[in-house]
Chain A
Amino acid sequence: MNDVLLTIILIVIKLGLVLGTVLSLAAYMVLAERKVLARMQMRHGPNRVGPFGLLQPLADLIKLLCKEDLIPERADRWVFMLAPAISVGTALLAFAVIPFGAPLQIFGRTIELVICDLNIGLLYLFALSSLAVYGVALGGWASQSKFALLGGLRAMAQMISYELALGLAIVPVVMASKSFSLTAIVASQQSLPNALRHPLAFLIFVIAIMAESKRTPFDMPEAENELVAGYHTEYSGMRFGMFFVGEYVNLIVLGSMLTVLFLGGWHGPFLPSVGWFLIKILAVAFFFIWVRGTVPRLRYDQLMAFGWKILVPLGLLNILVTAVWLLWRG
């Protein structure tokens, strides 16, 4: 009985810690992005609220909460209300399986630093990233606005196309580590991170997650100069905030996926494992922001052609090469 109680308490603590960390990290990622982008464009960025603008996310939250929550007259009300929740929910749910540190030993108990180590963790992540398409597609459709509909369509086609490349890039990793469990995949990278073992898969994966997250150079779904704001044109107040937070939570999810699958997860010298995990996620996020500050937007047909004509065939080829390599190595 005591044991069961302790387990439940542990789970609650882990849940609270993970959700709290992820949400506050997402809020500060917004600030970090604005700051870094500003610096790259020779500006200062937000620096009025609190020291160095550190209270800006809080101010933004209060502002969004106090804004009017509009639902357009002609919109499909229920779908309109549901869409942002799908967007934020699928992103948050992904954290249930991501291992963020080496197992801890406290009072003779081994505590796994992952909420639940599903034996199909990778499939679960893949399924969630497919479900995330519904958030933007339904949001764009339900608003009954032309900008939103076009943005939703573009987002849908782009996300499903790059999901194929994403899936194909994961296959060689699974072939080498022989498991779908993310903990096992991290454990298999103790000596050498997968990025060095499968460089081509790593490259495909990085490009695919950049397109999945709908960020520059792949931000056609919300291209502001042609589509206003894309699929969330009609959203206001906290519902817009949910799309926005969902996007940044998703950024952290994709960063953790990259870290777990290719960058060796929590392995690293000297620092505690959780520290390494955070450093790697932040490095990936910084890279994303850097790319956004550097690269111009592609054209939509170029984007789709790149996905289907280059990434998918390369992914297939990579699987075959990995198979031959595994056979040759014995």
Chain B
Amino acid sequence: MGIVMSEQHLLDYMYVLVFVLVGLAAAVAQVVVSRLFSPPSIQPKTGEPYECGMDPYGSAWGIRFNITYYLYALIFLAFDVDILYLFPVAVAFDTVSGLRGVIELFLFIGILSLAIIYAWAKGVFIWTKKKPAG
């Protein structure tokens, strides 16, 4: 039982590392095995992207998609960090003196939800319809 606390932590992460290696090996092994068994049959159209049997039209990396996806990613970035701040608050909640802790939590969450209210008011959550062509 001579293991020091920090060494114990290192040991824990060693297990995680071993798990990563085993998982990687499993992922690679599947692909290698299928390489050995699968019959390659390259036809002229084999490498084309699937578009329901039509000839592919243009590149997929040039298509336009709704800007809303990007906006969601942006609010997520702002908001997810805030939630990560909530975790230490949650774990140390009982060490803060009662009423003061709760009031601070209310203030923090109040300021935090402004991000959502702002996005809501700006209409981010309304999915804009494409104007009919022509």
Excluding A74-B49, A148-B60, A175-B93, 18 further A-B contacts by CB distance (< 8 Å) are A11-B18, A64-B34, A71-B47, A85-B28, A115-B15, A145-B60, A167-B84, A172-B90, A300-B127, A301-B127, A304-B72, A312-B79, A320-B106, A320-B109, A323-B105, A324-B102, A326-B94, A327-B102
- Residues from chain B with a CB closer than 8 A to the CB of A146 are 49, 51, 60, 63
B98 within 8 Å of A by Cβ? yes
Contact of A156 among B63, B73, B87 (CB under 8 A): B73
Contact of A89 among B23, B41, B86, B116 (CB under 8 A): B23
Give a binary string over A86-116; 1 marks a CB under 8 Å from any B CB, 0 the rest: 0011001101100000000000000000011
B4 within 8 Å of A by Cβ? no
Give the segment of A46-54, A212-220, A238-246, A269-277 that binds chain B. Answer: A238-246
- Residues from chain A with a CB closer than 8 A to the CB of B65 are 149-150, 153
Q: What's the minimum C-beta distance from B121 to chain A, rounded to whole angstroms?
A: 12
Contact of A174 among B60, B76, B90, B116 (CB under 8 A): B90
- Complex A-B: 8 CB contacts under 8 Å: A93-B23, A167-B80, A174-B90, A175-B93, A179-B91, A241-B30, A316-B113, A319-B86
Q: How far is the CA of A327 from the CA of B102 in the complex (A)?
A: 8
Which range holds the interface residue count of chain B?
35 or more
Q: Is B15 a contact of A74 with CB atoms below 8 Å?
A: no
Give the contacts of B11-41 with A (CB-CB under 8 A): 11-13, 15-16, 18-20, 22-24, 26-28, 30-31, 33-35, 37-41
Q: Is B52 a contact of A228 with CB atoms below 8 Å?
A: yes
Beta-carbon nearest neighbor of A147 in chain B = B50
A17 within 8 Å of B by Cβ? no
Give a binary string over A108-144; 1 marks a CB under 8 Å from any B CB, 0 the rest: 0000000111110011100000100000000001011
Q: Is A68 a contact of B80 with CB atoms below 8 Å?
A: no
Residues of B within 8 A of A (CB): 9, 11-13, 15-16, 18-20, 22-24, 26-28, 30-31, 33-35, 37-41, 46-52, 59-61, 63, 65, 68-69, 72-73, 75-76, 79-80, 83-84, 86-87, 90-91, 93-94, 98-99, 101-102, 105-106, 109, 112-113, 116, 119-120, 125-127
Q: How many A-B residue pairs have CB under 8 A?
A: 205
Q: What's the minimum C-beta distance from A98 to chain B, rounded to whole angstroms?
A: 11
Q: Is B30 a contact of A73 with CB atoms below 8 Å?
A: no
Contact of B93 among A130, A153, A326, A330 (CB under 8 A): A326
Q: Is A160 a contact of B80 with CB atoms below 8 Å?
A: yes
- Residues from chain B with a CB closer than 8 A to the CB of A316 are 109, 112-113
A266 within 8 Å of B by Cβ? no
Q: How far is the CA of A323 from the CA of B60 in the complex (A)?
A: 49
Q: What's the minimum C-beta distance from B128 to chain A, rounded to whole angstroms?
A: 9
Q: Is B80 a contact of A164 with CB atoms below 8 Å?
A: yes
Contact of B49 among A15, A234, A304 (CB under 8 A): A234
Known: A163-B80, A304-B72. A68 touches B40 (CB 8 A): yes
